[in-house]
Structure 1
Amino acid sequence: MRIFHIATRADWTAAQESGAYTTSTVDRSLAEEGFVHASRADQWEGVLATFYADVAEPLVLLEIETDLLGVPVVEEPPAPGVTETFPHVYGAIAPSAVVAVTPL
């Protein structure tokens, strides 16, 4: 299955150098959040508009193949009381699991 994650270009470049992507969302790390926020194909544009509209640095869209991750992906609501679910990646994302990178 393919899922998507919006990243800063700087965070993606650092992940390629270190071998692990560990940014959960804007200004939050995997260690702080417990998972990496992701979205399905029909969700990422809404996430971009809602959470990244004020981000001034260059962004990229990571397309991730879940079969290549090696860590759990769980569909969950992002907060209590929210019914829509999103894929949450419970571990670092290996750059080799990212099959496409699109500048936003």
Structure 2
Amino acid sequence: MKASERKSEVFFTSAGTAWEKVDNGIERQFVGYDDRIMMVKVKFEKGAVGYVHNHYHSQATYVASGVFKITVEGKDKILREGDGFFIASNVPHGAECLEDGMLIDVFSPAREDFLK
């Protein structure tokens, strides 16, 4: 089923939503989505790396907790709780967790590849 044919529940509860393992030290939890937008909580353990990648989706990310080294187009910036960043379509980016933390990612359109 395509993302355009699905959508999340109206209300999200952290306790009632499963975490999905993404990679070593990285898990995600879907907050809400339809075909146009998706919000995802991404929990990182210290030392976990979201390797540099790109995708056609626009992405806005909020640092909910922790400390991260964020790389965008080869430039690094240390971000902490309350900070954020925006990634335009197809821009290479990645994250390294320096202190246990959580990112809140919002994608437009929804990441169909996450829903498989």
More strand by share: 2
**Which protein, 1 or 2, shows the higher relative CO under an 8 Å CA cutoff with sep ≥ 6?**
1
| TM value normalised by structure 1 | 0.31
| TM value normalised by structure 2 | 0.29
More helix by share: 1
Computing the radius of gyration from Cα coordinates, the structure with the larger value is: 2
